[in-house]
Structure 1
Amino acid sequence: MRQLILDLLPESPPTLDNFVPGGNGETLTALTGWLAGAFPETSFHLYGEPGCGRSHLLQASGFLYIDATLRPSLAGIRAGEALAIDNVDALDDDGQIALFALYNQIKTAGGRLLTAAEQPPAHLALREDLRTRLGAGLIYRLLPLTDAEKAAAVAAQARERALKLSPEMVGYLLRHAPRDMRTLSMLIVAIDQYTLEQKRPVTLPLLRELLNMDAPL
């Protein structure tokens, strides 16, 4: 799929409301409660395979968001009271030392540290004292959406925009478009915009045209 059509759309900021939970209802409830201060634990760790929604939830937390793959040393980061570290296992030695210190500062201040990785803390290649701190907090696994859950979410979002997508059309999107829900949600917006501008109903030929376009609308 050409990326251009999606690049033309405004970003839809990740929020807790636009996260599609699928089988993660319990995890989302726990995270929402922890963010609201319902649990005393300083840290909350989310783990799961790529595409399960880890980054979405960290960005939706409203905390200062840091992707450790882009900032492995955490240079210049101040603790504050709310910090979200994505891909925490990508921290280098300096970054791990810094996060250990940040954790202690956040705990003293009564703040919150949200982290995420593909594995739970006990299985991460981190220094032992940092693993122990993260392992003492709340730990939840995020499950990827099944194809059926993605199809249901896409169909529901289409209905909200009064778009008539048949099961065959939804299946086509899941086979030919990027499969993460954020992109699929943006694609529904693109389809809505394209049908209005073209004054055409949604059909399979229109979807093929949209997914393969190489020029601005």
Structure 2
Amino acid sequence: MRQLLLDLLPDSSPSLDNFVPGGNGETLAALTEWLAATRPDASFCLVGEAGSGRSHLLRASGFPYVDADKNPGLLGVKGEATLAVDNVDRLDDNGQIALFALFNQLKAGGGRLLTAAIQPPRHLTLREDLRTRLGSGLIYRLQPLSDAEKAAALAAQARERALKLTPEAIDYLMRHAPRDMRTLSALIVALDRYTLEHQRSVTLPLLRELLAREATPAA
């Protein structure tokens, strides 16, 4: 669904309010407190598999954001008061040196570093001194949403848009669309626009039509 991912992402920016917590209520509460500077720790690491919401929360933090998967050397990244680094497990040698220096700079200046990775720092293939720094702060694991939680979230998002989405329609989306919440939420946005443009209600034929259209590569 290349076109969907590129052109029909949710029209609201990632925020703590539009994050679907599922079983991650404790993690979300801890992160919210830390972002409000009510906890003294200099760093906070979110651990979880792809699709668990790591990137959403890093972007929602309001910190300057960098994705080490796209910028493994952290080129041009500066440490001011705050910094969010996604996919720290993808840092190359130069990026690890840079993040080590940035961590020390932020901590010395009373700043804060928010990171995310697929595994806890102690299990990452990084420099020992960087693993130690990242492991010295708060570490919370994000659990992926269950299918039932995803379905409930889609139903709630549809209701917010006054979009009539039956359980059968949600089940169809869950079986035929990518399973991450970012894409599923994008589909709710796309459905809302599509039904308004064509003055049609949501039916299984309409869903098949929309998914087929969005799966067609752009010319």
Structure 1 and Structure 2 fold alike (TM over 0.5)? yes
Which stretch has the larger CA shift, 170-179 or 74-83?
74-83
What corresponds to 2:29 in structure 1? Answer: 29
Partner residue, 1:211: 211
The SS at the match of 2:96 is helix
Between the aligned partners of 2:161 and 2:74, the Cα distance in structure 1 is 42
Contact 1:12/1:186, CA 8 A, preserved across alignment: no
Report how many residues are paired: 215
- Aligned position for 2:183: 183
The offset of 1:169, in angstroms, is 0.7
The residue correspondences of 1:130-169 to structure 2 (distance < 5 A) are 130-169=130-169
What is the aligned partner in structure 1 of residue 39 from structure 2? Answer: 39
Matched-pair contact (CA < 8 Å) for 1:43–1:114 = yes
Secondary structure of 2:140's counterpart equals strand
Q: 1:164 deviation in Å?
A: 1.5
Q: Which amino acid aligns with 1:132?
A: T
State the match for 2:94 in structure 1.
Answer: 94
Answer yes or no: is the 8 Å Cα contact 1:19–1:56 preserved in 2.
yes
What one-letter code is carried by the residue in structure 1 that aligns with 2:121?
A: P
Tell me, in whole angstroms, the C-alpha distance in 2 between the residues paired with 1:186 and 1:50. 17
Q: Decide whether the 8 Å contact of 1:6 with 1:187 is kept in 2.
A: no
- SS of the residue corresponding to residue 210 of structure 1 reads helix
Structure 1 CA distance for aligned equivalents of residues 207 and 40 of structure 2: 49
Question: Tell me, which stretches of 5 or more residues in structure 1 are unaligned?
Answer: none
Q: Deviations 1:31-82 (Å, cap 9, x if unpaired)? A: 0110010110000000111110111111111111111121111222211111
TM-score of the aligned structures, taking structure 1 as reference length: 0.94
Matches within 5 A, 1:194-209: 194-209=194-209
Q: Which runs of 4+ in 1 moved over 2 A?
A: 2-12
Residue pair 2:4, 2:186 contacting (<8 A) in 1 also: no
Q: Deviations over 1:90-120 (max 9, x none)?
A: 1111211111111111001111000110000
State the SS of the aligned residue for 1:165. coil
Alpha-carbon offset, residue 4 of structure 1: 2.8
**Partners in 2 of 1:210 and 1:199 — Cα distance?**
14
Q: Once superposed, what is the RMSD of the aligned Cα atoms?
A: 1.6
The CA distance in 1 between the partners of 2:31 and 2:135, in whole Å, is 16
- Distance in 1 (CA, whole Å) between partners of 2:88 and 2:111 is 18
TM-score (norm 2): 0.93
Percent identical among aligned pairs is 70
Q: Which moved more, 1:75-84 or 1:103-112?
A: 75-84
Structure 2 unaligned runs (5+)? none
Aligned-residue offset at 1:12: 3.2
- In the alignment, the residues of structure 2 paired with residue 18 and residue 76 of structure 1 have an alpha-carbon distance, to the nearest angstrom, of 30
- In structure 2, the residue matched to 1:9 is 8
1:5 shift after superposition: 4.7
